[in-house]
Structure 1
C-alpha cells in the first residue's frame, strides 16, 4: 500500500483527523467500490467503475438526511441536486462514476432502493444523487461498460472501515494535476469543547494543472515539471481538463442551509491545492448531516393534521470550526488521492503516479522543513 500524506509526515492544517482519517469516521457512513476493467471488443482499454457513499445503514429514502450543494464551476453534470436545493433532503446514497455512465447508475440506484421498500401499495419515487468526472483518456468511455450490476456490487462492498483510495471505483481512470488521480478521503474531528463532531470528505479528483499543485501551502508543482512520461503531454490536449466532485459528511446537527454553507467550503480546500481555476473543470460539491436522526421521509400521501418535528442545529456562532474542518479534510483528501494512485497506461496514453519520494523532494525544494 502506498503512503498517505501523514505517513510522509505531511500534516495539513490545524485540526486532528479521526481514527481512520476518512469519511467513514462519521458514524454510519459507508463507502463501497466496484471496478470495471478489461478490453472492449474494439480493442480499447476499459478503466472505470462506481464509488458509492451511503449516509446511513438501510434505505436513505426512508431515513433521509439534511443536505446542501454548491457548484463552483458547472462544466459537469449531476442528478438529484435540484430536489436537494428545493427540499434540503438527501434521499439516496451518493454515487461517483464517469460522465457517460451517469444515467445507468441513477437508474440502478432507484431499482436497488425500490427493492428494499415494503410492498404496501404506497406510491414510490426517488431522485438519486450521481456525480461524474470524465475518464475518456484512459477509459473507453463511449463503450458504456458500467452496468446496474456494478452499482449493486459497490453497494454490497460498502463498509464503514478504511476506504480504499486512488485508481479505484469511480476514480479508476481519472487524472489529477497531470498525475494519476482518483479517489481520496480524509477527516477532521473537533475537540469536545467545540462539540466533538467529525467532518469527513471524499473526492473524485480529475482536475488541475501540474504547475499549480500546492501541498501544505508549498508550490510543489513548479518543482515537478520534469516528472513526465513519454505520452503525457499528448494525452492531455488541455492540461487541467476534467473535473472534481466532492462529498462532505458530518454528524454535527446542521440544517439544510448550513449544509450548503459547509459544501461551499470544499472550494477552499480545492483552492489550497491549486485547483478550481479551469473553465473545463466541473467542480460540484455536496454536504450532508446525519446529526438529526429522525427526519421523516417525504410523505407520499397526506393524512391527518400536520406535524412539527423536533430538530437540532449548531448555532451559527459555533459553525466556523466545522468550516475549517471541511476545508482541511478536502485539502488532504486530494493529496491522498494523488499519492495512492500508480502510473497507468490506457488507449495510447500514459499518466505517471505521484510517488512519495518525488513529492517530498519537491516540498524540500520549495522550502518545506517538515511538519511542526
Structure 2
C-alpha cells in the first residue's frame, strides 16, 4: 500500500490524479526487471527509463538542471546539461556497474532513428545506485535488450514502484527499497502547475528513518538489519528525477532540483559519506524549443520563452520537497522481503508495521 492509502498525508500540498511523476503531461516511465539466476549467481537488477515528453526528446528538448548533494555516485550527460541547460535524451536509472551499457544502448537506439546520423550526436543522461548486496553486480547483467524493453514500454499512467526496473535490488533505511513516485499539483492561484518525482531509493539508516516528521525508525530496530553481517548501514545512494510543466529556465530547474535535499532530509537521509545523492529536474513548460539536430540550417536565431517569476516560485519548491518525501516512503512501502545470495533477509516494511511504529511515536492520522 502507498502512504496515502494508509492515511499518511505528508505535507500540505495536493497530489495529482496518479500521485506520480506521470501526472506531468507527456512524461512516460518504463521498466525492465531482472529477477533470475545466471551462472549460479543471484540477479536482482534492471533499468528504468523516463521519457520527458510525449515525443522524441531530441525533437522536443526541455530545460533542465541538476544538483549533487553528495557525489559518491556516477552519471553521464550532466556536464552538457550544465553547459547548455537542455535535456535532449531520455533519462535512465540502473545499477552502478551497468551505467555504461545503458548509455551506449541509448546512443545506438538514437542512431537507429536518424536518417542521417552524421549530423547529430547525443550524450544520454544515465544515473545509478548500488545494488551489490542483492545482485551479482560484477556480472553486469543488464544488456541492450533490457534498455530497449524499458524504452519501448515507457507509458504514461500509473507507475510501478518498489523492486522493479533499476530499483529491483535496492535497499532503503535497511528495508527493501527501490522505485517510488509522487506528485503535487499547485492551486490555480499558485499557477496550477504540477511537480512530479521519481526516486530510486537505496540510502539511509533505519534508526534515522522519519515519516511525517516522526522518528519511526527507532521503533523498528527489532527487525533484523540486512547489514548485520555484511556492509554498513546507510551505504548506497538515491537518485531523484523531478519533472514539472511549469515554464522554468535552466537555472530555475537547478534550484528545483536542490529542493530534493529537503525531502530526503525529512525522511532522515542525506548525511552519509558513502551515498551518491544526485538530483535532476526538467521543465516542459516551454513547448517550442528548437530540436537538438545540429545539422539543420533553418533553426531560428531566437526563441520566445516564458518563465515563472521568482516571486511565485516558492510553491514549486515546497511541492518538490513534499513529493520527494512521499516518493521515498512509497518506495519503502512497495518493497517486499528479498534474500541476499547468502540467505540474509532484506525485509520489506508493510503498512501495518509502519502504522504501529508511527502510533508508538504519538502520531495520529490527520
TM-score, normalised to structure 2, is 0.97
Of 149, 153, 161, which aligns to 2:157? 161
For 1:286, the equivalent position in structure 2 comes to 280
- Matches of 2:159 and 2:112, distance apart in 1: 26
Structure 1 SS opposite 2:287 = coil
Distance 1:306 1:190 in 2: 33
The corresponding residue for 2:237 is 243
Structure 1 gap ranges (5+): none
The 5 A counterparts of 1:184-333 are 184-228=180-224, 232-235=227-230, 237-298=231-292, 300-301=294-295, 303=297, 307-333=301-327
Aligned CA RMSD, in angstroms, stands at 1.3
- Identify the residue that residue 363 of structure 1 maps to in structure 2: 358
Aligned 1:12-31 pairs, distance under 5 A: 12-31=10-29
Q: How does 1:30-179 map to 2 (within 5 A)?
A: 30-41=28-39, 43-117=40-114, 119-120=115-116, 122-179=118-175
Structure 2 partner of 1:342: 336
Question: Which string of whole-angstrom CA distances, capped at 9 and with x for unpartnered residues, describes residues 70-126 of structure 1?
Answer: 000000000000000000000111101000000000011111122222x14651200
Q: Is the 8 A contact 1:122 1:300 kept in 2?
A: no
TM-score, normalisation: structure 1: 0.96
Q: Counterpart of 1:287 in 2: which secondary structure?
A: strand
| Alpha-carbon distance in 2 for matches of 1:170, 1:304 | 39
By how many angstroms is 1:227 displaced?
1.4
Structure 2's unaligned 5+ residue stretches are: none
1:234 partner SS: coil
Task: Provide the C-alpha distance between the structure 1 equivalents of 2:144 and 2:283, rounded to a whole number of angstroms.
Answer: 28
2:53 counterpart SS class: coil
* Count of paired positions: 365
Measured in 1, the distance between the counterparts of 2:117 and 2:163 equals 43
Q: How far apart in 1 are the matches of 2:229 and 2:26?
A: 43
Cα distance in 2 for partners of 1:360, 1:303 equals: 60
The aligned residue for residue 178 of structure 2 is 182
